[in-house]
Amino acid sequence: MFLFVLIAACSTPQDLAPIPNFQPTTTSLEPITTTSSAEPTTTTTTTTTTTEVLAHFTVLVYDEIARMSFPVQMTARPGATLSYIATKDGHVWVYDGVEVKDTPALDISARVLDSGERGLLSVALHPTDPSRMFLHYTANNDDTVVSEFSFLDDFTADSESERVLLRLSQPAANHNGGMIQFGPGETLYVGLGDGGGSADRFNNAQNPGTLLGGLVTLQVNGDPDPTLFGRGLRNPWRFWIDDDIIYVADVGQGSFEEVSVTDLVADINYGWPITEGLHCFRPAAGCDTTGLTLPVIEVNHGDARTCSITGGVVYRGEAIPEIVGTYFYSDFCGGYLRSFRYEEGDIVGETDWTDQVGIPGRVIGFGVDGEAEMYVGTTDRLLKVVALRR
């Protein structure tokens, strides 16, 4: 176990692997003052206060679990010993709580286009059937694919068992979204970007006739029936479902990153490209925010080298009870660790943990094990968040 204290060497945005897309801008906009339909509590603050040392533990630190390339997500069934780690190159690895096994549980690298924002982007496990695994990946022809695979045993899945649930052509190479997660009722939720380019070039995010730019549901038992559940998203690289609440971290165009928090209900319109964060995206033309759900958090790109938000999980483990119910998030360029709690429609307890954990590199994902303990993935390692106690 060790504490990171060194900040990664700075790179220009052009040098960063685009996960997700970063398009710098010098535009300075004024915040939107219109109240959204869902009336979330919002903040226009772009910095947070470094936490004081909590009474029950000294600091949070990162414990290195493994060095591996682009561990985009880790997941496990509640109470299970084994966790599964998706790496962007098309492999799923097994972590037994001690080490990551040398042999992958699944290898579909020959089917995956691993380039830029494309690749194997997410993994989910069926909540009640331990024989079923689900992946969200980019096929060799650029299509977005969500598929089911069957396990042969606890360690190995059958690459030939693929059942495609969703296949969607992409008009550009970026904004693939990426996250899949099960919600209530064994429904699989899928995050899809707006089709790529910039400024919603293909006019998808506000188009109810396409799944692009949306939060999509799939019924994994029988006919998948892909359904547009929510829209107005630019590139929801990561979201997190916590019981009946969903946290959506949507990557901004070039000025603001955002996190929206709502009940898990259909027909939420997250605003893109009418809004970016709490601002009109095209202020000269004005914007009507009627019916939109504005984010509860925005982060300005001038804040701590922010460029591309990396959400996040709600901590529900037992090892650090002081932070149960807290949502954590980071940023691909900034590499910080920040959090807040969402209580009865309000955000409380905004905290910046970066002085404690340090900056481990370019953060690309989060994950949990079977005990709901929290992990962070960077471009070259998998880390566990642990507490050092007195």
pLDDT in tens, the chain (390 residues): 433 332 233 333 322 333 343 333 333 344 554 443 433 333 434 444 444 444 467 899 999 999 999 999 999 999 999 999 999 999 999 999 999 999 999 999 999 999 999 999 999 999 999 999 999 999 999 999 999 999 999 899 999 999 999 999 999 999 999 999 999 999 999 999 999 999 999 999 999 999 999 999 999 999 999 999 999 999 999 999 999 999 999 999 999 999 999 999 999 999 999 999 999 999 988 899 999 999 999 999 999 999 999 999 999 999 999 999 999 999 999 999 999 999 999 999 999 999 999 999 999 999 999 999 999 999 999 999 999 987
- Kindly state the greatest CA–CA separation across the chain: 58
pLDDT of residue 31: 53
pLDDT of residue 284: 85
Listed residue (390, 332, 387) closest to 363, CA to CA? 332
pLDDT of residue 11: 33
- DSSP conformation class of 235: -
Domain count, the chain: 1
Query: Distance between the two ends of the chain, CA-based, in angstroms?
Result: 16
Tell me, yes or no, whether 6 lies in a domain: no
Tell me, yes or no, whether 5 lies in a domain: no
What ranges in 69-208 are assigned the alpha helix state H? none
Tell me, yes or no, whether 21 lies in a domain: yes
Listed residue (305, 298, 303) closest to 362, CA to CA? 305
Cβ proximity of 133 and 161 under 8 Å: no
CA distances from 315 to 160, 331, 375 (A): 35, 18, 10
pLDDT of residue 58: 80
Look up the domain containing 105 and give its range.
13-388
CATH number at residue 46: 2.120.10.30
pTM value surpassing 0.75: yes
Task: List CB contacts of 33: < 8 A, sequence separation 6 or more.
Answer: none
Task: List CB contacts of 335: < 8 A, sequence separation 6 or more.
Answer: 7, 8, 305, 354, 359, 360, 361, 362, 363, 378
Tell me, yes or no, whether 207 lies in a domain: yes
Listed residue (204, 199, 147, 216) closest to 171, CA to CA? 204
In the block, residue with structure tokens 């997250």: 270
Cβ proximity of 72 and 178 under 8 Å: yes
